[in-house]
Structure 1
């Protein structure tokens, strides 16, 4: 309850901040709802005026109905227009905040942890309801105002109408139970919705489309999409069946009681103990009193759905804040490395994993050195890179930058002094200039720097192949967009990593996996020469690969296996030692002979 109230308070505060006039105008609709609740009273006066030939009652009734209808209609137009604008502003603001939160979370856990992924999927599925939360609050306020007026009018006519109003109470008492049904349905369907979204994305992906056609996977994919979609819908179907049965029972209970009470009042009217006006108010109040409970239930249900979405937004905000509070470093990184980077007993275990991905690593990366990190797939190489770049925080141990714990250094400032090219890089479908230039945001439009980065990343020939040079739109999904091969996209990603000329850490995490071994060897030799020529800055260049033949130019070669450093030294030293490195080197070398 506290979380819900906190979330709704946030929504209301946000709505007032981004749309003050619309928020105030939306409340005028409440006045109209109060006037609408007086309609049964005017109908009763009208009936009494007709029966008793009383023109005064007739005039009051007609004037009351005319004013009520006219004013209610005018205020409704004002209120609805205000709410539509307000909902647009609020939805946009929460979308903006959500995007900002997702983009500024320091770690990658929310992209890789299945439990967090399911929570985020639930949030994404229902995130549109966040913008409707205030609308739901306003509707509930309007409904309460109308319901209160309706009940008061009914009670002033005849006490038995209190019984009629009370027949709707059981439905209200079951709101908490039905809200739990809704929440359970949303959460149970979330993993299957995520699976369905992934499968549907595969049908739109050109690479996956090629495999699907070659292997004849169309029917298999469609069947899996159907199965996952049905599994996602099943909790909703169960929930809807429960709601339908409950509504049927409530309807029978209410209208059964209403028939008995109206029959009782008709009998009294025949006896003359109940006036025509009172009977008219009672009959016209049957539907209104039934709507009191049904409207309250519907609006509370809507508010519950919107508030759950708001609660999930608060959860996302709290999660982002929790991650942020783990990275409280304020120190600036050094202008240049004096001693280098050191790992002391560093371990990292992924959420839910039984074993460490890297385990108790002690390692020195001297300033100005070129370090090659090799090992089989799954050895923990990429994890180590992400630890050094601050994407992960060690579960044990610490990373030192010139003797200062990386946890004490401002993470944003550290990343501004680092650069990287990853195997799983982004294919940025922008103009070629920006696809490379975003590696240094401050120089994104600097053609000279972009051309220099393309040269350093051995990607100048990619630029030559583009019809409009740096102005070429990349990506076939855009008008006049040019598609690139996997190797070309990868070389642009490498060039993007070269935009920063003097990083303290340059991490190249298998950035040439789509290239042949000879080209990779030439590129790594080039990186090593460039790194040594810039050794005065004291930066560390870390080359990660599973191809042993490309790392001979490195100052230090580290062999990683099972999350541990099993060998280290120069290429010649490791070959002479005849250990795991030499053995794996020979095995791979025979493959190219």
Structure 2
């Protein structure tokens, strides 16, 4: 079921909840390291004030001639200063280890789960969804890093509070530095929000340039680009998309830099005024020399603390785009799951079959209906062939049956129940399919077949049985390491031909034992005639076996009419409509579109 754009709860509460969630994730993954990091950050915050107080005591003891007290305070100052340097290094090392581990592993998997959890395909064709996916695709590291940067900001606030408290003991007027310190933070945050918005707004252009870059640099598109001498044209298009993306992001970054400069100018003016006041106070003999040293030390520390806090807030804000995109995507996925949660279970066995009533469908972003007013019944246990010219709507029909999309109008019923009401994941679990645009999973051969039924991914006998069903035994025998052969040259493996990849996809589609829907979308388009004949014989036999077991409906999409003559029902599609239906003999007897197209193909094969 299609999810509408989510309304993500506003305010800071959503950020706080995510922050606590990610911090809890770190604690569960590395409890000792998390506790150690929090302790280090707390001690570091307090240690700044301890260093300033130790310096104050050292100077006052020297002025009063108390050598012992001066030495003790000096040692304390040296120890606290050294401790600060040590904790800073330890903090950085542990935090990077934490972010690398949790961000690269746990969060990346969570992000992938949200994306893969979108059962239908229409989600992945919506610009608003793709824009967020573009932002969060490699954002696991940024999310966890941002979490610990928030901890740093909290630690910086503690440090800042202690610093201002010490300044207040010297002169209440120095507390005005807090106002000047807040200005860089506020202005920088405003600039970073502009940067985050620009990244989302330009995500589509950024995604387009990446696609064009991959098109020009990967082998799949490289052949046509070189033959057509289109390299320069593709490069120009990629450069144009890149310029568009960079232009928007550069403007936002320049604006953010301007805000930052203004903020620091204002803080510098306030800091200079505070120093002038301190010097005037010292010249008039007010307070001890230690107080003056304390104030100067703390003021300098305040500058460093503000600079560090601003940098950390900037890093936090810079990840705000990833955070917002992740929260939006998660809310969107949750809405999709909620819409499907109250669905009905998929039946164990088909008894009536699948019925289409007035089905109309238009792809997102287009105006012309791909399917328009389909009415037909696919009986339980039947083999149904869908034929027609290219663009007639054959594959679109298959996508609706697989529940990748919802019809714009009309209903698809499974044993009388609206397919839209069935839990999508359950229906997918009872569907097996070999698609025209089959996947080329460049992992071990046994694994790429086993993915057809992940519950039996490591069941080598089940994998071998599926390979036999796809007539792919000879292919496995030629592989250097059999089922354990790595596929794909980019991984130093074996590269398969188009026909071999298609046989692999057919084997994958044979993994499930009790599908209710078996889809073969142009299953032999890349195979030679002998292989095609062998495949169809095997799959017709399997379809009859599944029919007797679970009432499986087998849908075969093919542009080669000679391969579907044994089907129980043939649907002839033209311009998104079913113009004829019946058995092979019935359609030939009618002498309509099917008979005409069948005759043309028969003559073409005979002449060949």
TM-score normalised to the size of structure 2?
0.87
- Report deviation, 1:544: 0.8
Write out aligned runs for 1:11-22 (5 A): 11-22=22-33
Following TM superposition, by how much is the alpha carbon of 1:365 offset from its aligned partner in structure 2, in angstroms?
Answer: 0.3
The answer as to 2:180 corresponding to 1:167 is yes
- Whole-Å separation in 2 of the counterparts to 1:82 and 1:478: 33
Q: Secondary structure at the match of 1:27?
A: helix
Superposed structure 1 runs of 4+ greater than 6 Å apart: none
Deviations 1:490-543 (A, max 9, x none): 122112212335532211011222235775466445533543465423221111
Per-residue CA shift, 1:231-281, capped at 9, x if unaligned?
Answer: 333333223322333333333333334334433442443343465334333
* C-alpha separation in 2, matches of 1:335 and 1:254: 71
One of 378, 388, 402 as aligned partner of 1:375: 388
Q: How does 1:368-407 map to 2 (within 5 A)?
A: 368-407=381-420
Distance across 1 between alignment mates of 2:237 and 2:329: 30
Which range moved further: 77-86 or 392-401? 77-86
Aligned mates of 1:429, 1:195 — CA distance in 2: 24
Match of 1:512 among 500, 524, 542: 524
Q: Which residue of 2 aligns with 1:439?
A: 452
Q: Which residue of 2 aligns with 1:28?
A: 39
Output one character per residue of 1:396-440: Cα deviation in whole Å (capped at 9) or x when no partner.
433322223334444444333331111111112333333333333
Contact 2:191 / 2:259 at 8 angstroms: preserved in 1?
Answer: no
Shift of 1:77: 5.6
Q: 1:461 to 1:268 in 2, by over 3 A?
A: closer
SS at the partner of 1:320? helix
Aligned match of 1:181 in 194, 205, 225? 194
Deviation track 1:137-196 (CA, whole Å, cap 9, x = no partner) reads: 221121111111111112211233223343223223324422321212221332233223
Q: 583-592 or 315-324, which moves further after superposition?
A: 583-592
Q: Which runs of 5+ in 2 are unaligned?
A: 1-10
What is the root-mean-square deviation in Å for CA atoms of aligned residues? 3.1
Deviates more, 1:28-37 or 1:512-521: 512-521
2:449/2:508 contact within 8 Å kept: yes
Asked if the contact 1:365/1:540 (under 8 Å) is kept, the reply is yes
Per the alignment, residue 431 of structure 2 pairs with 418
The alpha-carbon distance between structure 1 residues 533 and 299, as it changes in their structure 2 partners (threshold 3 A), is closer
**Separation in structure 2 between the aligned mates of residue 68 and residue 484 of structure 1, nearest angstrom:** 65
| Change in 2 beyond 3 A, CA 1:360/1:469 | same
Give the distance between the partners of 1:357 and 1:301, measured in 2 at CA. Answer: 48
Query: SS where residue 206 of structure 2 aligns?
Result: helix
Q: In 2, Cα distance between the equivalents of 1:308 and 1:8? A: 15
Q: Is the 8 A contact 1:517 1:550 kept in 2?
A: no
5+ residue gaps in structure 1?
A: none
Q: Is the 8 A contact 1:165 1:289 kept in 2?
A: no
* 1:315-363 CA-partner distances (Å, limit 9, x unpaired): 3333222222232366554443322211233333433433443334222
SS at match of 2:411: strand
Post-superposition offset of 1:385: 1.4
Instruction: Assess, with a 3 A threshold, how the Cα gap between structure 1 residues 56 and 355 changes in structure 2: closer, same or farther.
Output: farther
Report which stretch shifted further, 19-28 or 354-363.
354-363
1:115-130 alignment runs, 5 A limit: 115-130=128-143
8 A contact 1:123–1:312 mirrored in 2: yes
Residue range with higher mean Cα deviation, 312-321 or 215-224 = 215-224
Bigger mean CA deviation after superposition, 404-413 or 138-147: 404-413
Aligned residues of 1:369 and 1:535 also touching (Cα < 8 A): yes
**Structure 1 residues 212-238: Cα deviation after superposition (integer angstroms, max 9, x where no partner):** 333334444444444433433333322
CA gap 1:578/1:330 in 2 versus in 1, 3 angstroms? same
Shift of the 77–569 alpha-carbon distance from structure 1 to 2, 3 Å rule, reads same
Query: For residues 519 and 398 of structure 2, what CA distance do their matches in structure 1 show?
Result: 7
Counterparts of 1:86 and 1:432, CA distance in 2: 35
Offset, 1:447:
5.0
> Where in structure 2 are the equivalents of 1:523-538 lying within 5 Å?
523-524=535-536, 526-532=538-544, 535-537=547-549, 538=551
Q: Find out whether 1:315 has 2:328 as its counterpart.
A: yes
Closer/same/farther in 2, CA of residues 258 and 584 from structure 1, 3 Å limit = same
Q: What are the Cα deviations for residues 354-412 of structure 1, in whole angstroms up to 9, with x where unaligned? A: 34433342220012221111233333322221222232333443332222333444444
1:494 aligns with 2:506: yes
Where 1:368 maps in the other structure, the secondary structure is: coil
Looking at structure 2, the residues matched to 534 and 85 of structure 1 have their Cα atoms a distance apart, in angstroms, of 52
Q: Is the 8 A contact 2:188 2:259 kept in 1?
A: no
Equivalent residue for 1:65, pick from 77, 92, 96: 77
- Aligned equivalents of 2:344, 2:179: Cα separation in 1: 66
Mapped contact 2:520–2:555 kept (Cα < 8 A):
yes
2:564 aligned to which of 551, 559, 583: 551
Mark the CA change 1:221 to 1:512 in structure 2 (over 3 Å): closer, same or farther.
same
CA–CA distance in structure 2, aligned partners of residues 572 and 396 of structure 1: 33
Q: Is the 8 A contact 2:163 2:302 kept in 1?
A: yes
Residue aligned with 2:211, SS: helix
Would you say 1:459 and 2:453 are equivalent positions? no
| SS across alignment from 2:573 | strand
Q: Distance in 2 between matches of 1:326 and 1:53?
A: 79
CA distance in structure 2 between the aligned counterparts of 1:143 and 1:164, rounded to whole angstroms = 16
Q: Distance in 2 between matches of 1:184 and 1:268?
A: 48
TM-score, normalised to structure 1's length?
Answer: 0.89
Asked whether the equivalents of residues 32 and 73 of structure 1 are also in contact (C-alpha less than 8 Å), the reply is no
Is this contact kept in 1: 2:26–2:102, CA < 8 A? Answer: yes
1:477 aligned counterpart, secondary structure? helix
Residue 90 of structure 2 is aligned to residue 55 of structure 1: no
Residues 219-258 of structure 1 mapped to structure 2, 5 A cutoff: 219-258=232-271
- Check the 8 A contact 1:37/1:149 in 2, yes or no: yes
Asked whether the equivalents of residues 445 and 482 of structure 2 are also in contact (C-alpha less than 8 Å), the reply is: yes
SS at match of 2:175: helix
In the TM superposition, residue 283 of structure 1 has moved relative to its aligned partner by: 3.3
2:355 pairs with one of 342, 361, 366: 342
1: distance between equivalents of 2:92 and 2:542?
A: 65
CA separation of 1:417 and 1:259: change in aligned 2, threshold 3 A: closer
1:10 corresponds to which residue?
A: 21
Asked if structure 2 preserves the Cα contact closer than 8 Å seen for 1:345 and 1:362, the reply is yes
Give the aligned partner of residue 366 of structure 2. Answer: 353
1:134 maps onto 2:147 in alignment: yes
